[in-house]
Amino acid sequence: MTITLKLKKAGNRTSVFSISDDLGNTLASDVTRQQLIDGLSFNVNNSVNVIIVTSTGTKCCGRSWQFPIQQLTMQQLASIQFKFHNTGSIWRHLTNPTIYNNFYGCVNPYIIEYPFAYQYHDEILQNVKDYTKVYQYLPSVLGVFDDSRKVETDEYYFNKAVLYNGQQSSGVLKLAPKPKRNLQDYMKYPIYENDSKTITFTKSDNFYQYNTFWSLIKNKSIPLFTTTCESMSIDKIVNQVNMDYSKRSFKKEPLRAKELKVRHILDNRSDIHLTSQFIYAPAQISYK
């Protein structure tokens, strides 16, 4: 049978959707709000009773709505007019002490940036050593936040980093824990993708450490970052058009300048609490 899905009302936070049925079939993905406002038609199994619409946008991710199939005339369908519908709410913090950077059901990036200024000579960045404590909280038996219900873990860390100065950028570095006692898995790194490079980090003497980075920009006359409309707290995002993530056996330009900024990002989980103490970025003086 053929069904038509048309959106009657939605809030400003909804933008992109996926559509499925109660049999587990995905009917469409990356559907825009405007497409649903105009109306979309699908051919589904006759035994389908419910259509499931899931918000996959960054501002209202993971929320789903179920709509039973109804009989409407063409006139009733054509008369549906879209209206914006926003409801005010008060956000309550720490109602669930086991999650942190999670708002309205969505993981929001936790970002911290460290600036470094060198002396007279330019310096070349060697590696990054970060003293950060990572905690996981257990469910509270009291039903409220309990600072004693935590464990410090060595398994997790920031999942992304961006190293840059005024004319150079490492691009997006995805951080993965170094495989232990598995040389075959370790030799897979670094992993090159179209919009990132995955490298490994280790933890030794309570320092998280990583290297394997160099400048990836294509053109120094093109900005390194672009403004994001997703969230003002993110501030800026890497200009991927100006990054070259291909493998290089040469032209690995080191990060060399009189300044450096290290940006750490956690945007793939909200069940860990990062307490950053200080960071150390060993550099070598570059004489010219």
Buried b (16+ CB within 10 A) or exposed e, 226-258: eeeeeeeebeeebbeebbebeeeeeeeebbbbe
Alpha-carbon distance values, 157 to 139, 180, 204, 216, 236 (Å)? 21, 16, 13, 24, 21
| Helices and strands counted in the chain (H then E) | 3, 25
pTM of the model: 0.71
Q: Tokens in use for 82?
A: 């879209």
The Cα–Cα gap between 170 and 253 comes to 10
Q: Strand, helix or coil at 34?
A: helix
Using only the alpha carbons of the chain, give its radius of gyration. Answer: 24
All structural domains of the chain with their residue ranges:
2-84, 109-286
- What is 2-84's CATH topology? Immunoglobulin-like (2.60.40)
What is residue 176's predicted lDDT score, i.e. its pLDDT? Answer: 94
pLDDT along the chain (288 residues), means of 10: 80 77 85 82 85 74 76 77 69 72 78 88 87 88 74 91 92 93 88 92 92 90 81 76 84 87 91 88 76
The Cα–Cα gap between 190 and 176 comes to 10
Select from 258, 177, 257, 268 the least CA-distant residue to 217.
257
The Cα–Cα gap between 106 and 13 comes to 11
Going by their DSSP bridges, the two strands 283-286 and 102-103 should be labelled as unpaired
What is residue 90's predicted lDDT score, i.e. its pLDDT? Answer: 64
User: Do 80 and 8 touch, CB atoms closer than 8 A?
Assistant: yes
Own/partner long-range contacts of 203-206 (Cβ < 8 Å, ≥24 apart): 203/154, 203/157, 206/131
What is residue 122's predicted lDDT score, i.e. its pLDDT? Answer: 85
The Cα–Cα gap between 125 and 177 comes to 21
What is residue 159's predicted lDDT score, i.e. its pLDDT? Answer: 94
